[in-house]
Chain A
């Protein structure tokens, strides 16, 4: 049997079935925490219990802030607005409609619906192509400001600046409220921990690490973020619901940006991206504030402010960061204790398109920067099984062409079709869905995820991940599997991507792109920085992709020896136009190409002014 580079090598049988990933790590401490919450009121004095009830509700919101900021990279000052929505919905409902089971249902329903609606609106405003993290953050700051202004202008309906008091509410003892609020906070953290450790939860880290890569893996990043904001907003609103129900008061401060920034401060001091840090930070600051602000009113807040600035500048991992680092170092000696992952073949891999049909077509493609035409009149097509190299001097427009193929919003004019469908003005994640995979020049992977997790994110489009478990099986299509095995990544599935060598990172990115099961693969200078051996392996892989898997590969390269060796076709770009498009032997010997490469201007550009 021919030694094909793409045949999946059978793998040794290894451990187990799927099992909820963080079950051990989250459930046990969670259970202990719940027990502590149940027992605590018997031990603590009433004043402390009272403070802690409020603190638990605040801690719940802090957890949502950590999920949004620490995990998905969205710095938000606006979770307080959702908290306020919950508080005010309770207060207004019970004031206007009285108190009873139906009213409770109304208040609950209204809280959820209102919070969800606001979250979707804010999400639409904040997450879209062209938005920057800065802009999203400022929108999150504007939200509570707008809300508070609306509250101020609401007259007696919203209580204006005095808030709403005196409505009838749940008849529970403080101790019972303590348990409800405490268990709520613990539950929120535990559920968040389980989901974040699951396969689906890794997506948040991927979003934070490299949002562009996510888009080019077919993920609609805007939609993911809006969904996340929706869930976080509703949870925060429910915390506000509880808070106002307990205290019997809703005040503008509950929805203010001041509170919103306090939440960020709590998460920063406790340690962002840890969940536990949010809980600890919130509880600690709430309790300390309650005790200290009687004694040293403004000095306490000053101390917190200074600690905050110091932490941001010097200790980004929070006040307990160094401690946590030490603990982690102690606990991480045994790496085999981490879930092991094994590769498998995809059950029903997507088959390549029948040859003959062009999978990449451009017609009169134009790209302008102001008055400068970087690409003009570019027309060509490519079929499955072709390995087309795009060459040309610097500034010829090669990478621009790749961008125009992968992103419908890039070009200024002309038509592009991928796998028979015009791309119009669609964004990258839609074009990936048509069958396109793009590999970037600088290995674009998810630095803080493991190799296995990176590959799993690449599979998200093809198979729905679990929200609760982390699978120990990683199914990959044959092409991706071959890359993983021949490059040596198979032995390093549990290593973080940032620790890989340059060559391995490039291999990982290629495997991720192939995991999409694309019909067309775009590569931008893939051999830059590779050793001779790595380049050789790469050449074999690329050739295998076209001859065995019948993909269409489009390659931008500077290494002309490499190009000559593996291409079936070469397109020469010069000053934004196709100067030559033909077989390798036709192009290599052409005098026109020699002229282009030796720096003398081609005849077509003779009209240039000196």
Chain B
């Protein structure tokens, strides 16, 4: 029972880390970055590289973040910005970019599944059970990310400008906010977050050129269901993540992997605008 509960919480944490970047991009730019999965993959492989280079493993999320931010800003400037009036095409183009990134990764690293050692091994005793310390650390990471975002969005000038752009881009421009720059930064940071997610899940999941895709679908569904609110996203991760864990444990792992997508699809069918103002 305790194990199950911890599984649910850590799964929710992982889902949150993976989805937060996508949520922020969706909130500001009103499109879904379909290269998000590829950025996750890139982050994972960046971790692989830093591990091979022998750099301290604590640095890897930061390296991944930097790579992700750079890639994201390039993508926004070169591709997404030109498709402002064609949102479906923006999705297609980012999807295409994801394919291209996957191919580049394959060319550079090969198709085989790779493994990255966890920076933290061993278990910790929680309520009488031994549980993986690394997974518990991820809960901390999720909380830190959520906290940082709330602090930046709520406290800083940039955060205020971003919230303004999310709420009413035209009015924000009237007040002197360069919404193009906000979009660029947002896309960069969202991509950087995806890369961090890829970097921290590498010890738990296998690393291959297509690893990001299942996460993209799950993240997308969670973002749609949460209707744009970070808090609702956290809740959705707990609820849907929990159901996924239950399905995987008691029914079958394969069907468990489908739980989020299927349940979210049905939930959105019943309430298209998401559950933010619940």
Is A in direct contact with B (CB under 8 Å) within the complex? yes
- A contact residues vs B (CB 8 Å cutoff): 75, 125, 128, 130-135, 137-139, 141-142, 145-146, 149, 152-153, 257, 261, 264-265, 268, 298-299, 301-302, 305-306, 308-309, 312-313, 316
State whether A308 touches B96 (Cβ < 8 A): yes
Q: Which A residues touch B258, using CB under 8 A? A: 145-146, 149
B100 beta carbon closer than 8 Å to chain A: yes
Q: Beyond the given A309-B79, A313-B82, A313-B89, could you list 12 further A-B residue pairs with CB under 8 A, ordered by the A residue number?
A: A75-B88, A125-B266, A130-B272, A134-B31, A135-B272, A138-B32, A146-B258, A149-B254, A152-B254, A257-B213, A301-B99, A312-B92
Q: Which A residues touch B220, using CB under 8 A? A: 138
Q: Which A residues touch B221, using CB under 8 A? A: 138
Q: Closest approach, in angstroms, between the C-beta of B35 and any C-beta of chain A?
A: 10
- If A138-B220, A153-B252 touch, whether A313 touches B79 (CB-CB below 8 Å) is yes
Q: Closest approach, in angstroms, between the C-beta of A259 and any C-beta of chain B?
A: 13
Determine the distance from Cα of A427 to Cα of B257 in the docked complex, in whole angstroms: 36
State whether B92 touches A75 (Cβ < 8 A): yes
Interface residues of B in 188-235 (CB under 8 A from A): 213-214, 217, 220-221, 224
Given B88, B106, B266, which contacts A134 in the complex, CB threshold below 8 Å?
A: B88
B1 beta carbon closer than 8 Å to chain A: no
Name A's interface SS: helix
State whether A141 touches B93 (Cβ < 8 A): no
State whether A134 touches B87 (Cβ < 8 A): yes
Q: Which B residues touch A135, using CB under 8 A? A: 224, 268, 272
B107 beta carbon closer than 8 Å to chain A: yes
Determine the distance from Cα of A316 to Cα of B103 in the docked complex, in whole angstroms: 23
Determine the distance from Cα of A254 to Cα of B93 in the docked complex, in whole angstroms: 24
Determine the distance from Cα of A301 to Cα of B105 in the docked complex, in whole angstroms: 12
State whether B91 touches A137 (Cβ < 8 A): yes
Chain B interface residue bracket vs A: 35 or more
**A-B residue pairs, 5 tightest by C-beta:** A130-B272, A305-B100, A309-B96, A302-B103, A308-B96
State whether A142 touches B265 (Cβ < 8 A): yes
Q: Closest approach, in angstroms, between the C-beta of A374 and any C-beta of chain B?
A: 18
State whether B265 touches A125 (Cβ < 8 A): yes
State whether B88 touches A133 (Cβ < 8 A): yes
Interchain Cβ contacts under 8 Å between A and B, 5 examples: A75-B91, A125-B265, A135-B272, A142-B262, A298-B107
- If A125-B269, A130-B273, A131-B272 touch, whether A302 touches B217 (CB-CB below 8 Å) is no
Q: Which A residues touch B82, using CB under 8 A? A: 313
Interface residues of B in 106-157 (CB under 8 A from A): 106-107
Q: Closest approach, in angstroms, between the C-beta of B222 and any C-beta of chain A?
A: 12
State whether A302 touches B88 (Cβ < 8 A): no
State whether B92 touches A142 (Cβ < 8 A): no
B95 beta carbon closer than 8 Å to chain A: yes
Q: Which residue of B lies closest to A301 (CB)?
A: B103
Determine the distance from Cα of A313 to Cα of B80 in the docked complex, in whole angstroms: 9
Q: Closest approach, in angstroms, between the C-beta of B29 and any C-beta of chain A?
A: 12
Determine the distance from Cα of A305 to Cα of B94 in the docked complex, in whole angstroms: 11
Given A142, A302, A313, which contacts B107 in the complex, CB threshold below 8 Å?
A: A302
Q: Closest approach, in angstroms, between the C-beta of A181 and any C-beta of chain B?
A: 27
State whether B100 touches A306 (Cβ < 8 A): yes
Determine the distance from Cα of A302 to Cα of B258 in the docked complex, in whole angstroms: 29
B57 beta carbon closer than 8 Å to chain A: no
Q: Which residue of A lies closest to B26 (CB)?
A: A134
State whether A139 touches B254 (Cβ < 8 A): no
Determine the distance from Cα of A226 to Cα of B220 in the docked complex, in whole angstroms: 24
Determine the distance from Cα of A268 to Cα of B95 in the docked complex, in whole angstroms: 13
Q: Which A residues touch B32, using CB under 8 A? A: 134, 138
Q: Which A residues touch B268, using CB under 8 A? A: 135
Q: Closest approach, in angstroms, between the C-beta of A462 and any C-beta of chain B?
A: 31
Determine the distance from Cα of A130 to Cα of B89 in the docked complex, in whole angstroms: 20
Q: Which A residues touch B254, using CB under 8 A? A: 149, 152-153
State whether B100 touches A309 (Cβ < 8 A): yes
Which residue, of A137, A261, A265, A312, has the highest number of chain B Cβ atoms within 10 A? A312
Q: Which A residues touch B96, using CB under 8 A? A: 265, 305, 308-309, 312
State whether B265 touches A139 (Cβ < 8 A): yes
Q: Which A residues touch B83, using CB under 8 A? A: 312-313
- If A146-B262, A313-B79 touch, whether A137 touches B88 (CB-CB below 8 Å) is yes
State whether A134 touches B79 (Cβ < 8 A): no
Which residue, of A128, A264, A313, has the highest number of chain B Cβ atoms within 10 A? A313
Q: Which B residues touch A138, using CB under 8 A? A: 32, 217, 220-221, 224
Determine the distance from Cα of A313 to Cα of B87 in the docked complex, in whole angstroms: 11
Which residue, of B82, B93, B252, B266, has the highest number of chain A Cβ atoms within 10 A? B93
Q: Which residue of B lies closest to A74 (CB)?
A: B88
State whether A145 touches B261 (Cβ < 8 A): yes
Determine the distance from Cα of A316 to Cα of B213 in the docked complex, in whole angstroms: 25
Q: Which residue of B lies closest to A311 (CB)?
A: B96
- If A130-B272, A134-B87, A145-B217 touch, whether A312 touches B265 (CB-CB below 8 Å) is no
- If A145-B217, A301-B103, A305-B99 touch, whether A316 touches B269 (CB-CB below 8 Å) is no
Determine the distance from Cα of A153 to Cα of B254 in the docked complex, in whole angstroms: 7
Determine the distance from Cα of A313 to Cα of B107 in the docked complex, in whole angstroms: 25
B55 beta carbon closer than 8 Å to chain A: no
